[in-house]
Amino acid sequence: MIRRAKPLLGTIVAIAADGAPVALDEAFAAVERIHARMSAQRTDSDISHINCEAHRNPVPVDAWTFEVLQQALRVSEATAGAFDVVMPGTGARYTDILLEHGTVRLRRPAQLDVSGIAKGFAVDVAVDILQQRGASAGSVNAGGDLRFFGAGDSPVRIRMPGRPGQSFALPPLRHRAYATSSGEFGTTLYDPCTGSRATLDWSVTIAAATCRVADALTKAVGLLGPIPALLKRFDAVAFAVDADGRLHAATG
């Protein structure tokens, strides 16, 4: 098993796989591409170009950026906008994002930030590349977003809010992808309906088939709670650790 780690996506991305070193090189290169194309802080990224130009003209974007926005809109529609990559303050919502033939257009000026789903997407892409290059087992961990493949999963543990030295082991699941949001990781919840924001003072972990879905759902469940129909739609399981250290679980 080869293990490597690099600072990317605003965190440390750690990859472990039983494949050739070149497989890990390609997986990290893919994460770097996602970081470059989808960072709202980089002036040369697709997201920055969308924020500056898409309300005037369609903006061509990388295929992966387009895919992330497609997935983001699916989750936004399923959560009635509780998850929204459009930042509050401009009056725009996810319904103002128009996707067509690899381009993005905005009905009105808006500021997009896809960090709430792009990190999970990067984990999924890295896993796909490792498997395509012959790795049969391993994991990709991007600071709160984790996905296993192959045999030999390690127990997944989530830290208790405000008690970094204590953690819970989650029960064994068939799901291989996990994402966690909590105030400990600096997660801020934005309510698109009211425009209010608050620091998440408890921990939300979602287990799903992919990290991109798990990543986005942590924010929606943080706002809405573990709605069974929503979890069932995405075949997901929700776990929460409250400020008193109690573990709660919900399924669809």
pLDDT tens per residue across span 130-153: 999 999 999 999 988 999 998 766
Res 173: pLDDT: 79
- Report the Cα 112 to chain-centroid distance in Å: 15
DSSP string, the chain: -EEEEEEETTEEEEEEESS-HHHHHHHHHHHHHHHHHH-SS-TTSHHHHHHHHTTTS-EE--HHHHHHHHHHHHHHHHTTTSS-SBPTTSS--GGGEEEETTEEEESS---B--HHHHHHHHHHHHHHHHHHTT--SEEEEESSEEEEESS-PPPPEEEETTEEEEEEEPPP-S--EEEEEEGGGT-EEE-TTT--EEE--SEEEEEESSHHHHHHHHHHHHHH---HHHHHHTT-EEEEE-TT--EEEEE-
Res 195: pLDDT: 61
Low-confidence ranges of the chain (pLDDT < 70): 152-154, 160-164, 166-167, 182-201, 243-249, 252
Label the pairing between strands 203-208 and 237-241: antiparallel
As a residue count, the chain comes to 252
Q: Across the strands, what pairs with 182?
A: 203
Res 168: pLDDT: 74
Res 59: pLDDT: 97
The answer to whether 19 and 2 have CB atoms below 8 angstroms apart is yes
Q: What is the rounded CA–CA span in Å between residue 99 and residue 106?
A: 9
Res 198: pLDDT: 58
The answer to whether 164 and 65 have CB atoms below 8 angstroms apart is no
- Ordered by start, the domain boundaries in the chain are 1-39+115-143, 46-113, 155-251
Read off the pTM.
0.88
- Count CB-CB contacts under 10 A for residue 98: 13
The answer to whether 133 and 23 have CB atoms below 8 angstroms apart is yes
The answer to whether 140 and 125 have CB atoms below 8 angstroms apart is no
- Count CB-CB contacts under 10 A for residue 225: 12
Residue with tokens 């997660």: 187
pLDDT tens per residue across span 80-119: 999 999 998 888 999 999 999 999 999 999 999 999 999 9
Res 47: pLDDT: 97
Res 162: pLDDT: 63
Res 96: pLDDT: 97
Res 164: pLDDT: 63
